[in-house]
Structure 1
Amino acid sequence: MNDRASTSIDPVTPRRAQRVRDACVNLAHGSGGRAMRDLIEDVFVSTFDNPTLAALEDQAVFALADLAAHGDRLAFTTDSYVVDPLFFPGGDIGTLAVSGTVNDLAVCGATPLFLSCAVVIEEGFAVDLLRRVAASIQRVARAAGVAIVTGDTKVVERGCADKLFINTAGVGVVRRDVSISARHACPGDVVIVNGYLGDHGAAILVARQQLALEADIESDCRPLNGLIAAMLDASPRIHCLRDATRGGVATVLNEFAQGSNVTIRLDEAALPLREQVQGACEILGLDPLYLANEGKLVAVVPADAAGRVLAAMRAHPDGREAAVIGTVERGELDTSGLVVMQTAFGGQRIVDMLVGEQLPRIC
C-alpha cells in the first residue's frame, strides 16, 4: 500500500498484526517511515493476506501465459470512490470500491483477476474504521475471486479530504468468444435488467437521514462477475452490457442508443421497482431511472438469445428478479439515438440523459 506490491510464489514470513496502537491516523502514518509501514502491514497487508502484496515491491508483475489462459485481450479500468456517508445500509466505501471495479471489468466480458487499492486518509480518521473498511474490501474481493496485489497510502492534513477516499484499478482478461460494446445494439434486440432499480440511491438517502421509510432498504452493492459469466455461458452474443451506477439505467440506455444510432423503447409497467423506492421518488420528485445502482446491470441481447440469457440470470442469486424492460428499434429521423418510455397511461415520453446531479457523493 506504499506503491509496493509484486507477484511472487515464494512464501512470505507472516507479519505481526495490531502494530498500530494509535486510535486515529496521524500524519506520521503517511510519512514513509516506520509508522507508515506499521499501518500498511497491520491494516492492509494482514487483511488482504496474499504473498503478492506481502512481498512489498513497487509493482505487480504478471506472467503473460497465466493471463492468456483466460482469453486473448486485456481489460484495464480504474475508479475513485468518495461516497458520503462512508457506511450505509448494505455496504460501505470498501464494498463499493471492489464491486465497482470488478463490475467495470466484467461488463466487457472480462474475467477480473487483480486489483490495486490506493487510499487517501484524512488525519484523525479512526484506525478501527480503517480496519473495518479493509475487511470489507477483502471480503468482497474474495467473493469476486480477485486479489488486491498493489496499492498506495497517503495521509493528508485535517480538512484536506473528507475522511477517506479510495481508488481501485483492475486488470482482467476478455473471453475470446465475446464482443460487447455500446455500439452493438441492433433493431429487434431485447433490453434486460437483473433486478430492482434504485436501491443504492434510496439506501444513501436513508443513511443521510434525508428519507424516513417504514421498511429498510439496503444498497444492492455487489460484484456481478459471477452473474455475467453465467449470462455469457448461456449466450456469448450479448451485444451491450453496462452496470447502471451514477446516472442510473436511463443514462446507460442513452449511451447505448446514441452509440448504436437506434431507438430504445421502454415499457414503464415492466420496470422492477420496490414500492418503497417508487413512493420515495414520487414524494421527493426523483426519477428512479436516474437513481444510482451498485449491483444492477443493463444488457441488450438478440431476441433469439433473450430467453436463454433471462433464464440463466434468474437461476443466479444476483439475477432472480431479472426482467425484460424494453426493445431496440430502428432509429427514425425524430427518434434515432433516443430512449422512449411507453408510459402506464398509454402515452410516451423521452427519457433523456441525466442533467445535473440528483444525489451528490453517491459512490
Structure 2
Amino acid sequence: MEKRISLAHGDGGELSHRLIKSVFVEAFGHNNEAMFDASALTIPVRDIAVTTDSFVIKPVFFPGGSIGKLAVAGTVNDLAVSGAKPLYLTCGFVIEEGFEISDLRAIVSDMAKEAKKTGVTIIAGDTKVVERGSADGVYINTTGIGIYENGRKPSLQFTEGDAVIISGTIGDHGIAVLAERGELGISVPIDSDCASLNTMLLKVCEEIDDVRIMRDPTRGGLATTLVEIAEDFSLTIVLNESSIPVREEVHGMCELIGFDPLYIANEGKAILIVPNEHKDKVMEILLQFPEGKDAAVIGEVTGTEKGQLLLETPLGSKRLLTRLAGMMLPRIC
C-alpha cells in the first residue's frame, strides 16, 4: 500500500476503497459487514443525547495521546457530563495530501483502542482528502450518541452552599501540547490528561440523586467554563484559589510564559456541582478512579441571583473572573 495520502485517495475510486478497508474498517472491526451510506441503529430508550465536535490539534501526536484518542475521549466526555451513557460514534476525516499513512493508521488505532475501552461502537465515517498545505495533517469530526438510563440527567437546579468539584489537576493538556511543539525551546515532563471519563461520571450519577451539573473544561479552561455556568444559571460561584489542584510543572510553565492555569485547556477533567451534603460521597467515588485521584472541592455556590465567578485568594481578597479574552494558546483541541 502507498506510504502517503494522495489526492487520489479522496476521489472515491480504488485507492479510496483500499484506504477505507485497510485503515478504518480493519481498525473499527466491521470487516464482515456490507458498506452502506447509513448505519441502522436500535436505541433501547426514548431519551438520547447527541453531540458533535471537531478536532484540529497540532501536533497530532503529543505526550499522553493523539488526535485519535482525543477525538474519542472528547466526544465520550461531552456525552458523559450530560449524564448519558455513550453508545455510538461517527467520525469524519479531512486528510492532507502527503500525510503518512502509517501515522493515519496509528491515529485510527488509537481511536479503536479508546472506543473499546469506553464501550462505544464506531458505526459510520467519511474521508476527504485536501491539497497539500490546506490542513495540519488531519482533522477529525465526530458525532456521539448516548442514552439516559433511569432518568439520570443533571437537575440544573441550584441552591446556596452547593459544592464545586474538579476531578483533577488543571492545565495538563494545554501545557503538554504547547511544550511538545518545541516553539518555546522549553521541555516540560508532563503528559496530557486526555482520557475518557464516562465510567467515573456515570458512577457518580448512579449513586448521587441530585447532581446539579457536570461540564468538561476544555477550551477556555476551568474559569471560562465556570463563568458560562454562573451566567447561564444566574449563580454567584466563589472559588478557593488554594484548593485548585495544579501540577508544579504546569504552574512553573505558566509563570514562565505569563499564562494563567485557570484558562488552560483540559481534556480529561470534569467540573461537578453537587449539593453540599453529597460532596464527601462524590469525592469518595472520584478518588476510586485513576482519572479522579487528584479531585478536589474548589468552591461553592454562594448566591442564585447574580451570574458571576469570583476567586478568593490566600489573603482572603476576591477578584472577578471573566471568560478567556483573545487566544491564550494556539489551536490545541
State the TM bucket, normalised to the shorter chain: over 0.9
Write the distance in 2 (CA, Å) between the matches of 1:143 and 1:171: 16
**Superposed structure 1 runs of 4+ greater than 6 Å apart:** none
Write the distance in 1 (CA, Å) between the matches of 2:210 and 2:89: 27
Instruction: Report if aligned partners of 2:85, 2:149 keep a CA contact under 8 Å in 1.
Output: yes
2:241: which partner in 1? 268
2:47 to 53, 70, 73: 73
SS in 2 for 1:100: helix
1:37: which partner in 2? 17
State percent identity of aligned pairs: 44
Instruction: Report if aligned partners of 1:341, 1:349 keep a CA contact under 8 Å in 2.
Output: yes
* Residues 325-362 of structure 1, C-alpha deviations (whole Å, 9 max, x = no match): 00001146xxx211000002221111111111111211
Write the distance in 2 (CA, Å) between the matches of 1:322 and 1:196: 7
CA deviation after TM superposition for structure 1 residue 211, in Å: 4.7
Equivalent position amino acid for 2:200 in 1: L
TM (norm. structure 2) is 0.96
1:8: which partner in 2? none
2:4: which partner in 1? 24
Number of residue pairs matched? Answer: 333
**Do structure 1's residue 87 and structure 2's residue 61 form an aligned pair?**
yes
Write the distance in 2 (CA, Å) between the matches of 1:224 and 1:40: 29
TM (norm. structure 1) is 0.89
**Do structure 1's residue 308 and structure 2's residue 313 form an aligned pair?**
no
Aligned pairs (5 A) from 1:109-148:
109-148=83-122
**Do structure 1's residue 279 and structure 2's residue 259 form an aligned pair?**
no
* Residues 58-117 of structure 1, C-alpha deviations (whole Å, 9 max, x = no match): 1111123xx22xxx4110010001001111111111011001100001111100000001
Write the distance in 2 (CA, Å) between the matches of 1:35 and 1:210: 36
Equivalent position amino acid for 1:126 in 2: E
2:41: which partner in 1? 62
1:10: which partner in 2? none
* Residues 179-206 of structure 1, C-alpha deviations (whole Å, 9 max, x = no match): 326x533211000011111000110111
2:309: which partner in 1? 339
CA deviation after TM superposition for structure 1 residue 233, in Å: 2.1
Change beyond 3 A, Cα 1:215–1:354: closer
1:295: which partner in 2? 268
Equivalent position amino acid for 1:354 in 2: L
CA RMSD of aligned residues (A): 1.5
Write the distance in 2 (CA, Å) between the matches of 1:309 and 1:302: 10
1:207: which partner in 2? 180
SS in 2 for 1:286: coil
CA deviation after TM superposition for structure 1 residue 119, in Å: 0.1
Instruction: Report if aligned partners of 1:177, 1:236 keep a CA contact under 8 Å in 2.
Output: no
Query: What are structure 2's unaligned runs of at least 5 residues?
Result: none
Instruction: Report if aligned partners of 2:309, 2:321 keep a CA contact under 8 Å in 1.
Output: yes
Write the distance in 2 (CA, Å) between the matches of 1:184 and 1:28: 53
Query: What are structure 1's unaligned runs of at least 5 residues?
Result: 1-20
CA deviation after TM superposition for structure 1 residue 212, in Å: 5.6
CA deviation after TM superposition for structure 1 residue 215, in Å: 5.2
Change beyond 3 A, Cα 1:51–1:63: farther
**Do structure 1's residue 106 and structure 2's residue 83 form an aligned pair?**
no
Write the distance in 1 (CA, Å) between the matches of 2:157 and 2:259: 30
